[in-house]
């Protein structure tokens, strides 16, 4: 990345990062985020949830915990309800970039800014990485005998430029994303991809540095962590699927997020006495 010419400087305050979460994950997933990357991304981060939580509110910037009042369920309607509000709040924020992540994601803030600098936010950009190895195929909504096939970025991490988001307003703004989700019967991330492909006639720009737990996270080379944009953690069959990085023990850092954070910021006080990879 050092040789690239960056024409479009991007400040953290120009990026709208939305973290999708839900009440039952406030205690289990959010604390590790607040201790690690959110410290660096504070100015950009907005949490979208489905309950009131005064304790969490007190730990982040004012107005950054949004209770969507969407139902606290893992259903298409509930997830689209949340994404719809994320999109509307981004539009209202006037920021240049909308970046969405799940609450089991480590977002490498400097790498994100370096990525966004390479694109003009007034242009039409949809940046992310597919989780499927083929385009999603659905029945065409206007011609049901035909099919529509398109690539979408997994909701674990993607960005949309303001230029593209403004054009998407008639389809995704003001709660209309929810109707699209119902019309195509697809979840939030797929429906965003559908709108961009079908109505905007734009393609996903694949960014290899986004990593959800749907891929093998152990494949990421520790020496290369600084160039990747998102990391996650999860189960893959019987084994845990996490980034292989030295640092804290597996017991004290099961998600590896503390170790990733120390790998990226070795001079932090909490990183003083750990084994370096
Ligand atoms: N989520 C939600 N409501 C729910 C369950 C999950 O908003 O009832 C959010 C969760 O906080 C996360 C995303 O949806 O940001 C994906 O959830 P999870 O990682 O549990 O499932 P996955 O889809 O990755 O298997
Ligand atoms: Mn997940």
Q: Which two tokens stand for residue 141?
A: 């909504």
Residue in this structure with the two tokens 């804290």, named with its chain if needed: 248
Determine the pLDDT at residue 6: 62
Residue in this structure with the two tokens 């100015």, named with its chain if needed: 43
Determine the pLDDT at residue 217: 96
Q: Which of 48, 102, 153 for mutating ligand 1's site (highest number of atoms within 8 Å of CB)?
A: 102
Cα 255 to Cα 67: distance, rounded to the nearest angstrom: 26
Determine the pLDDT at residue 235: 83
Determine the pLDDT at residue 123: 98
Separation of CA 22 and ligand 2 centre (Å): 12
Q: Which of 17, 18, 19, 22 for mutating ligand 1's site (highest number of atoms within 8 Å of CB)?
A: 22
Q: Which of 47, 50, 52 is nearest to 81 (CA)?
A: 50
CA 196 to chain centre: 17
Q: Which residues of the chain have pLDDT under 70?
A: 1-6, 275-277
Kindly provide the ipTM of the predicted complex, given to two decimals. 0.99
Q: Is 43 a catalytic residue?
A: no
Determine the pLDDT at residue 205: 98
Separation of CA 74 and ligand 1 centre (Å): 6
Determine the pLDDT at residue 139: 93
Determine the pLDDT at residue 275: 63
Alpha helix segments (H runs only) across 185-264: 188-194, 257-264
Cα 163 to Cα 95: distance, rounded to the nearest angstrom: 11
Separation of CA 18 and ligand 2 centre (Å): 15
| Ligand 1 pocket check for 188: Cβ under 6 Å | no
List own/partner pairs for 233-238 with CB under 8 A and 24 or more apart. 233/104, 233/257, 234/104
Could you tell me the end-to-end alpha-carbon distance of the chain, in angstroms, rounded to an integer? 22
Determine the pLDDT at residue 4: 58
Asked if 22 contacts 102 with a C-beta cutoff of 8 angstroms, the reply is no
Asked if 258 contacts 35 with a C-beta cutoff of 8 angstroms, the reply is yes
Determine the pLDDT at residue 8: 86
Asked if 109 contacts 265 with a C-beta cutoff of 8 angstroms, the reply is no
pLDDT in tens, 18-57: 999 999 999 999 999 999 999 999 999 999 999 999 999 9
Beta strands, E only, the chain: 15-20, 45-49, 65-67, 97-102, 105-107, 126-128, 136-139, 147-150, 157-161, 205-206, 230-232, 234-236, 239-241
């Amino acid at each position: 990345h050092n040789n690239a010419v960056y024409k479009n400087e991007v400040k953290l305050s120009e990026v709208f990062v939305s973290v999708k979460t839900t009440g039952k994950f406030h205690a289990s997933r959010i604390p590790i985020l607040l201790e690690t990357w959110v410290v660096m991304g504070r100015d950009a981060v907005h949490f979208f949830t489905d309950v009131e939580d005064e304790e969490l509110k007190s730990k982040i910037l004012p107005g950054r915990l949004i209770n969507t009042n969407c139902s606290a369920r893992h259903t298409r309607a509930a997830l689209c309800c949340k994404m719809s509000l994320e999109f509307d709040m981004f539009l209202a924020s006037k920021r240049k970039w909308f970046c969405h992540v799940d609450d089991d994601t480590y977002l490498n803030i400097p790498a994100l800014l370096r990525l966004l600098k390479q694109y003009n936010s007034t242009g039409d950009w949809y940046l992310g990485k597919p989780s499927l190895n083929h385009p999603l195929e659905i029945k065409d909504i206007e011609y049901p005998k035909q099919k529509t096939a398109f690539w979408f970025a997994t909701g674990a991490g993607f960005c949309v430029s303001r230029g593209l988001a403004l054009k998407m307003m008639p389809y995704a703004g003001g709660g209309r994303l929810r109707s699209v989700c119902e019309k195509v019967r697809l979840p939030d991330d797929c429906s965003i991809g559908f709108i961009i492909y079908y109505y905007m006639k734009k393609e996903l720009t694949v960014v290899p540095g986004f990593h959800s737990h749907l891929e093998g996270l152990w494949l990421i080379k520790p020496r290369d962590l600084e160039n990747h944009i998102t990391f996650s953690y999860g189960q893959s069959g019987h084994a845990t699927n996490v980034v292989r990085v030295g640092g804290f023990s597996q017991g004290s850092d099961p998600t590896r997020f503390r170790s990733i954070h120390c790998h990226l910021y070795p001079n932090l006080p909490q990183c003083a006495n750990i084994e370096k990879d």
